[in-house]
Amino acid sequence: MSSGGRIEEWASRYVGLLYVRHGRDIERDGGLDCWGLTRFIFKEEFNIDLPAYDALYTDEAEVDEVLQIAAGENLYRPVQIEYVRAGDVVLFSSLRDVLHTAVMVNRAAFIHCNSHSTFSTIERIDDKSWKPRILGFWRHKHLEDRCHQN
């Protein structure tokens, strides 16, 4: 990952977790989906509790509604690709017209969980299967605050 810097040490702890559709809690559900993995990483690494949105998120197609709620709560701000850093959330369009979330582990790679790989993996952001599907990068307000304190 020479063009993106080293992969954050914490990321390797989350590789190999089982994908479970609608998995929000690894202990309760036995695995995680893309948002569940994002929540798990944010809680464990950044001590940030992200909402599960269980009541709203009954199908992947409803992720858009969840993102609208998050935007209304002013939890995230968009980040230009040249300023992306570990901990930023990347959103992808899906082949089935739904959204997919992942967490950046450096400027060139992200960690995610999806049904195609069965387990969480780290992949390059410039991979031909992901790059054309990038919808944007977002930074949680508490990660922004930490950056300004350092």
> For the chain, how big is the Rg over CA atoms in Å?
14
Tell me what pLDDT residue 41 has. Answer: 96
Instruction: Evaluate whether residue 4 is within a structural domain.
Output: no
Q: Which residues form the domain of 56?
A: 9-149
0.75 exceeded by pTM:
yes
Q: Say if 36 falls within a structural domain.
A: yes
The answer to whether 103 touches 91, Cβ cutoff 8 Å, is: no
Tell me, yes or no, whether 106 lies in a domain. Answer: yes
Domain-located, residue 80: yes
Q: Please, are residues 99 and 93 in contact by the beta-carbon 8 Å criterion?
A: yes
- Is residue 38 within 8 Å of 101, Cβ to Cβ? yes
Which of the residues in the chain have pLDDT under 70? 1-5, 53-73, 95-98, 145-150
> Domain holding 133: CATH number?
3.90.1720.10
Total structural domains in the chain? 1
pLDDT value, residue 97: 53
**Distance set, CA 8 to CA 59, 65, 116 (Å):** 31, 31, 24
Report residue 90: phi and psi, to 5°.
-110, 140
Give the integer Cα–Cα distance in Å for 23 and 26.
7
Q: Classify residue 111: in a domain, yes or no.
A: yes
60 domain-assigned: yes
* Predicted pLDDT of residue 148: 44
Instruction: Look up residue 49 and give its two tokens.
Output: 């509790």
Judge whether 83 and 144 are in contact, CB under 8 Å: no
Q: In the numeric block, which tokens belong to residue 114?
A: 């999806």
Say how far residue 40 (Cα) sits from the centre of its chain: 10
Report how far residue 11's alpha carbon sits from residue 115's, in angstroms, rounded to the nearest whole number.
19
Residue 125 lies inside a defined structural domain of this protein: yes
Q: What DSSP character marks residue 70?
A: H
Judge whether 70 lies within some domain: yes
Is-contact 36 46, C-beta < 8 A?
A: no
